[in-house]
Amino acid sequence: MGTLAFHSDTPFNVVRIAILCAPQGTTDFMVDSINVPTVAGASYAVATSASPSDGGSTAGGGAYSNGSQVTVVATAKPGYAFVNWTEGGTVMSSSASYSFTASADRTLGANFSPRLAVTESAPDAIALSWPAPSAGFILQQNSACAPTGWVNVTATVNVVGGQNRVTVSPTVGNRFFRLFHP
């Protein structure tokens, strides 16, 4: 019966013990209640980025001590909306303010989407606009607010004052519009 002490910069829960000079007949070892604290001075890097970069900004990245509370914040620029925080393609939070405990290096992306603005441009026409450039987004329409039946708007997209702009006329019947990113 004895005690071994371990220290590590990162947590672990598996230990392999190699006995170089084991007494004859000793082949079994019991390892129980492994608790390996991380070194008190360990720190972790938290990196944040905005996607697209002109969609907004992030705050809260930096170096944090093990176990400390981290809060990262995403702020959308005008014409954009915050969507979510992701890490390695996995959604971590849908809140613009995301808190967690520092226990490893993290690389977080704040994702933003352009907002579609609708204004009346003539007695029987509307103007749809969104920030330019908005790479990969397609303007679509539907006669019903439904998950299916969306078609691409074929009207010409003009850039006016840093905004993509499409004029739709006439505005007869119901029409729903969205920006779609395939």
Question: How crowded is the C-beta side of 23, counted as CA atoms within 13 Å?
Answer: 3
Express each pLDDT in 114-125 by its tens digit: 999 998 888 888
Question: The tokens 């609708």 sit on which residue?
Answer: 118
- CA-wise closest residue to 59 among 77, 45, 46, 43: 46
Give residue 124's pLDDT: 82
Give residue 29's pLDDT: 53
Domain boundaries, the chain: 43-113, 117-180
**Polymer length in residues for the chain:** 182
Give residue 120's pLDDT: 86
The Cα 125–Cα 110 span in angstroms is 35
Express each pLDDT in 166-182 by its tens digit: 988 866 778 899 999 88
pLDDT tens per residue, the chain (182 residues)? Answer: 555 555 555 555 565 665 555 556 555 555 566 655 555 568 999 999 999 999 999 999 999 999 999 999 999 999 999 999 999 999 999 999 999 999 999 999 999 999 999 988 888 888 999 998 888 889 999 999 999 999 999 888 989 888 999 988 866 778 899 999 88
Residue 38 DSSP code: B
Tell me whether strands 158-160 and 163-168 are parallel, antiparallel or unpaired: antiparallel
- How deeply is 101 buried, as exposed, middle or buried, from its count of CB atoms within 10 A (0-12, 13-18, 19+)? exposed
Give residue 62's pLDDT: 96
The Cα 76–Cα 78 span in angstroms is 7
The Cα 27–Cα 13 span in angstroms is 22
The Cα 31–Cα 10 span in angstroms is 20
Look up residue 112 and give its two tokens. Answer: 């933003």
The Cα 149–Cα 162 span in angstroms is 30
pTM of the model: 0.68
Q: How many helices and strands, by DSSP H and E, does the chain display? A: 0, 15
